[in-house]
Structure 1
Amino acid sequence: MKKIVVCGRNDGGKSTILGELYKGLKNRNFQPLAVGSGVQDEKPYLHKGIDPNYLTIAVPEPGRDIASDIDRVIRNAVNQIKEKNKLIENAKRALEELNKVRSVLELGHLSQKDIPKTAALPDVVLIEAVGINDGYKAEECRKLADVLVTVIPAGLKGEIIMEAGNFLLDEADILVVTKVDETPRDVTSTTIKLLQRIYRTKPIIPVVATKGVHMNLVLDEVIKGLAEPMILFDPILPDETTKRVN
């Protein structure tokens, strides 16, 4: 399965973006598996509309991201769905056999309405990159992601954006600038213009994720990346970080 990684600072609204992407992908006939942060429990993700059957929480080691353990986490989550589906199918067959006996004894049939339907297996993984303490410098996220979505708070200081070694900005497929109500419009505009000067070929999308504003644009870019991920990859020349702003 291809992996969409939502990364960035922990105050950038990553889990909100994750929830919006989950709902958007569902509406586009994907079935995502969401991998949430072990820093918090499942409740915030459930409140964002993620089906608990397709939610798993990864607990990162101190100071590390979940990337080192992600394959095991995904495999376990998929196996749980398969096992639950197997139990459901077994329950249906058992009830069918019981109803045959009840029919012979003229006891009437028992309904299968209380037996849940089997769940579709996920076809894409949505991961919130967590456990990162240095903002935009975790290279393992790029190695993990087929589509890398980097989240930048609209009020982030320009000096932080321009720091050398911001690997997750340099290597992002999509840059999402998250705006909250208290962020002044001119601050948001300044942040976007700075990013546009540095990353001229990348999609840079401002969103108000809590209201779903412009999330459809992010979703379009993500789906484009799933179909043809190499198109979005923007190779970084060795000396580019020293020439970040002309």
Structure 2
Amino acid sequence: MSQDPQPNAVALNTLKGGVGKTTISLNTARELAERDHDVLLVDLDPNGHLTVGLDFREVYIDDEHADLGEIIIDRDAEPDDAIVSTEFGFDLFPSTADLEDVQDRLGSVNHGTVRMRQFLVEPLLGDTYDYIIIDTPGSTGHLTDNALVATESILVPLRPGPESLGGFERTVERLIKPLREFISLDLLAIVPTDLQRRIDQQTLDRELIESLVTREHLAAKVPNFAYISPADLEKID
């Protein structure tokens, strides 16, 4: 492990598809690895796009490869049995084709919501990895709940568009607020993605940034690369 980082785990989720969630997960893991941190990227999406995109399709479809269910439900495998190394300097806990079945099983097993925290994140965070990043399904469900309970931290990507804030509001109402009745779930950041348009005109990029920075409770969650103060926005007009 590298020295001095505060070990941290975060789950990425937005209840809206096509916002760049998987891309941000991958880029964050790569950037942290390039800074000499030990990073585990967890693909929790049953579609397995991240796993396949990293050239682990054979792992995704391999019935013999240890999967999440064997580790956190059956308890007859350990995380190291599933984790693979990537060419980008971080490790991957891959998705597998039976992950939807794991989601169903988590609904009936005792203490199903805390399984990932107890048997995956807590044993690895700090001792083996500086950072654990979980790319969740873009929907509610037992896998998403497990990721948020395990990390107690969420990063929400938003892509400019008519429904961008709607996706964020759904995430707050259906995920964040209900879980905050039981855990201290931190909204780590709101990350605008795919910013390509001018902000000195009324573009979708400008509308998204303005809608975030003019709300005091959200402005502090916008990363520096996307933040423009309301005063500066007025000067641009």
Contact 1:5 1:149 in 2 (8 A): yes
Please, which of 160, 179, 182 is the counterpart of residue 194 of structure 2?
Answer: 179
Kindly indicate whether residue 93 of structure 2 is the aligned counterpart of residue 56 of structure 1.
yes
Matches within 5 A, 1:60-71: 60=100, 61=103, 68-71=114-117
Aligned residue number for residue 197 of structure 1: 214
Contact 2:13 2:135 (C-alpha < 8 Å) held by counterparts:
yes
Report deviation, 1:13: 1.0
Q: What is the match of residue 91 of structure 1?
A: none
Distance 1:57 1:34 in 2: 8
Q: Distance in 2 between matches of 1:63 and 1:151?
A: 28
- In the TM superposition, 1:1-246 aligns within 5 A as 2-8=8-14, 9-36=16-43, 37-40=45-48, 42-46=51-55, 51=88, 54-58=91-95, 59-60=99-100, 61=103, 68-71=114-117, 74=120, 121-130=128-137, 132-133=139-140, 142-157=148-163, 158-162=165-169, 165=173, 167-168=175-176, 171-179=186-194, 186-198=203-215, 199-205=217-223, 214=225
**Does the 8 Å contact 2:38/2:90 carry over to 1?**
no
1:195 CA drift (Å): 1.9
Greater alpha carbon shift after TM alignment, 171-180 vs 27-36: 171-180
Number of paired residues?
A: 163
- Matched AA of 1:57: P
User: In structure 1, what is the Cα distance between the partners aligned to 2:113 and 2:198?
Assistant: 35
Counterpart of 1:74 in 2: which secondary structure? helix
Instruction: State the Cα RMSD in Å.
Output: 4.3
CA distance in 2, matches of 1:142, 1:18: 15
State the identity as a percent: 10
Runs of 5+ unmatched residues, structure 2:
1-6, 57-85, 178-184, 228-237
Structure 1 residue 201: deviation in Å? 4.6
Q: 1:18 to 1:46 in 2, by over 3 A?
A: farther
Give me the whole-angstrom Cα distance separating, in 2, the residues matched to 1:43 and 1:67. 27
Residue pair 1:64, 1:131 contacting (<8 A) in 2 also: no
Rg larger in structure: 1
For residues 155 and 146 of structure 1, the distance between their equivalents in structure 2, rounded to whole angstroms, comes to: 28
**TM-score normalised according to structure 2 size:** 0.52
Query: Which TM-score applies when normalising by structure 1?
Result: 0.50
Q: Deviations over 1:90-135 (max 9, x none)?
A: xxxxxxxxxxxxxxxxxxxxxxxxxxxxxx932321111225259x
Separation (CA, whole Å) in 2 of partners of 1:168 and 1:67: 15
1:153 is displaced (CA, Å) by 1.5
Q: Distance in 2 between matches of 1:126 and 1:2?
A: 9
